[in-house]
């Protein structure tokens, strides 16, 4: 008989682009005994989750709940329900996740009008205005916090431009939710999605979403059936709404974890939590400056929760990441696409965003940059 020893993960400080470290009470919640997904006790807990998500998203939208799946499932949920074949859609692209949006919109049969900005910069509202003048799109999709580059695009003006043209505004808040201001009703966002594993500090596996009445009307009065059975809001509403009919078996333990993670977010208070993210970002930037390093993304629009650090020319990017992980137990992320080899992505998200973690990272980085342990190219 072949025996396999139980898996024991090595200790890690997660300072990458996600997942972030989860609080021990969130992890403990996942170990609680299972309930059936239609058990009244479970259902009343689901109601609390909906209420807490509304507070975190700052919305009164009735249709607010977590999709079973990661952030990409939330993205797919919005597009698959709102786009019908042949629809014109504007997708803003300034990094990997804008590109993913365009790919998904095309798979839904949408005719994508791309509004592009250089990676690391924000989407200029005038570019959206120009794109919208040419065609009246059904929706405008924007990534609030581009995790691949560390840029935070301001939303209200773009949302106004979309609505003036009669389009819906769809917003990706996978990295922003819980780490900086997200105001779904205040910014008049029609469809929004997020993920659990970043600033909410819950393991990956759920995608909180919210649709307002305008978006819901479009999703429920389509002329074609939604291409995805699993993500069809008309069916999901039967389980997360008043009817409580079986659609798919809810991931019970993940939902326990989200309940605890949201409880902690609200216990801390949204504004206090954003402030904590800002202060730890500032602590990191000041420490980096002392090491002669700086943030690569557009000044004035740099994310607090994802710091894109320019790799000095003489340093081998991947060697530092490897040493940080293997010798110091610290995970950070690499650059993607055109930023590959040029930046390190340091996440200070949710529970990982603490002054002692910033100091631990800076100390380790300083040592690695000072020792000749890294291969350097002249
Ligand atoms: C901005 C953004 N959108 C979408 C996603 C996709 O989320 P997931 O990897 O959880 O599917 C990510 C993941 O990093 C992200 O950062």
Q: What's the average model confidence in pLDDT over 186-194? A: 99
Reported confidence tier of residue 372, pLDDT bands at 50, 70, 90: low
For the chain, percent of residues with pLDDT exceeding 70: 98
203 in contact with ligand 1, CB cutoff 6 A: no
pLDDT at 134: 76
Nearest residue to 113 (alpha-carbon basis) of 124, 121, 98: 98
95 in contact with ligand 1, CB cutoff 6 A: no
69 in contact with ligand 1, CB cutoff 6 A: no
To the nearest whole number, what is the mean pLDDT of the chain?
Answer: 96
173 in contact with ligand 1, CB cutoff 6 A: no
Using CA atoms, how far apart are residues 246 and 368, in angstroms rounded to an integer? 54
The CA distances from residue 240 to 160, 167, 174, 233, in Å, are 30, 27, 21, 10
Contact predicate 69/206, CB 8 Å: yes
pLDDT at 377: 47
pLDDT in tens, 123-166: 999 999 999 987 899 999 999 999 999 999 999 999 999 999 99
pLDDT at 371: 84
> In sequence order, what are the beta bridge partners of 345?
308, 333
Looking at domain 25-266, its CATH class is alpha beta
Ligand 1 centroid from CA 256, angstroms: 21
**HEC per residue, the chain:** CCCCCCCCCCCCEECCCCCCCCCHHHHHHHCCCCCCCCCHHHHHHHHHHHHHHHHHHCCCCCEEEEEECCHHHHHHHHHHHHCCCCCEEEEEECCHHHHHHHHHHHHCCCEEEEEECCCCCCCCHHHHHHHHHHCCCCEEEEECEECCCCEECCCHHHHHHHHHCCCEEEEECCCCECCECCCCCCCCCCEEECCCCCCCCCCCCEEEEEECHHHHHHHHCCCCCCCCCCCCHHHHHHHHCCCCCCCCCCCHHHHHHHHHHHHHHHHHCHHHHHHHHHHHHHHHHHHHHHCCCCECCCCCCECCCEEEEECCCCECHHHHHHHHHHHHCEECEECCHHHCCCEEEEECCHHHCCHHHHHHHHHHHHHHHHCCCCCECC
Ligand 1 centroid from CA 82, angstroms: 19
175 in contact with ligand 1, CB cutoff 6 A: yes
Reported confidence tier of residue 207, pLDDT bands at 50, 70, 90: very high
Q: What's the average model confidence in pLDDT over 112-130? A: 98
205 in contact with ligand 1, CB cutoff 6 A: no
**Closest C-alpha to ligand 1, atom 8:** 71
Q: Is the pLDDT of residue 196 over 70?
A: yes
Q: What's the average model confidence in pLDDT over 253-266? A: 98
pLDDT in tens, 161-178: 999 999 999 999 999 999
Q: What's the average model confidence in pLDDT over 74-90? A: 98
Contact predicate 105/112, CB 8 Å: yes
120 in contact with ligand 1, CB cutoff 6 A: no
Ligand 1: atom nearest CA of 148 is 16
**Domain boundaries along the sequence of the chain:** 25-266, 270-370
Ligand 1: atom nearest CA of 145 is 1
Ligand 1: atom nearest CA of 144 is 1
* Cα-trace Rg, the chain: 21
Mutational test site, ligand 1, from 141, 142, 147, max ligand atoms within 8 Å of CB? 147
Ligand 1: atom nearest CA of 17 is 14
Q: What's the average model confidence in pLDDT over 54-82? A: 98
Ligand 1 centroid from CA 130, angstroms: 28
**CATH number of the domain located at residue range(s) 270-370 in this protein:** 3.90.1150.10
Ligand 1 centroid from CA 72, angstroms: 6
Model's pTM, two decimal places?
Answer: 0.97
Q: What's the average model confidence in pLDDT over 245-270? A: 98
333 in contact with ligand 1, CB cutoff 6 A: no
Q: Is the pLDDT of residue 378 over 50?
A: no
pLDDT at 374: 57
179 in contact with ligand 1, CB cutoff 6 A: no
């Amino acid at each position: 008989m072949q025996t396999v020893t139980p898996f024991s993960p090595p200790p890690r400080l997660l300072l990458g682009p996600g997942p972030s470290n989860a609080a021990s009470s969130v992890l403990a919640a996942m170990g609680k005994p299972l309930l059936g997904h239609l058990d009244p006790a479970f259902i009343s807990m689901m109601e609390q989750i909906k209420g807490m998500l509304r507070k975190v998203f700052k919305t009164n939208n009735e249709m607010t709940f977590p999709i079973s799946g990661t952030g990409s499932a939330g993205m797919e949920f919005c597009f698959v329900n709102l786009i019908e074949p042949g629809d014109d859609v504007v997708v803003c692209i300034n990094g990997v996740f804008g590109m993913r949006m365009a790919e998904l919109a095309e798979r839904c049969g949408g005719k994508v009008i791309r509004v592009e900005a250089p990676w690391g910069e924000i989407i200029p509202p005038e570019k959206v205005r120009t794109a919208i003048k040419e065609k009246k799109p059904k929706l405008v999709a924007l990534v609030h916090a581009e995790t691949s580059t560390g840029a935070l695009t301001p939303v209200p003006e773009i949302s106004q431009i979309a609505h003036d043209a009669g389009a819906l505004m769809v917003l990706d808040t996978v990295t922003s939710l819980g780490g900086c201001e997200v105001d779904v009703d205040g910014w008049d966002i029609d469809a929004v999605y997020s993920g659990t594993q970043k600033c909410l500090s819950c393991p990956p596996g759920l995608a909180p979403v919210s649709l307002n009445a305008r978006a819901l009307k479009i999703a429920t009065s389509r002329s074609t059936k939604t291409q995805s059975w699993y993500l069809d809001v008309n069916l999901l509403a039967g389980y997360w709404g008043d009817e409580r009919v079986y659609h798919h078996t809810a991931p019970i333990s993940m939902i326990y974890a989200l309940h605890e993670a949201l409880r902690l977010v609200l216990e801390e208070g949204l504004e206090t939590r954003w402030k904590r993210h800002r202060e730890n970002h500032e602590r990191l930037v000041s420490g980096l400056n002392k090491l002669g390093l700086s943030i690569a993304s557009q000044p004035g629009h740099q994310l607090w929760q994802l710091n894109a650090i320019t790799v000095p020319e003489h340093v081998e990017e991947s060697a530092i990441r490897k040493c940080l992980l293997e010798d110091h137990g610290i995970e950070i992320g690499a650059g993607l696409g055109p930023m590959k080899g040029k930046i390190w992505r340091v996440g200070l998200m949710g529970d990982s965003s603490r002054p002692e973690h910033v100091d631990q990272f800076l100390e380790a980085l300083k040592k690695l940059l000072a020792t000749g342990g890294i291969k350097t190219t002249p």
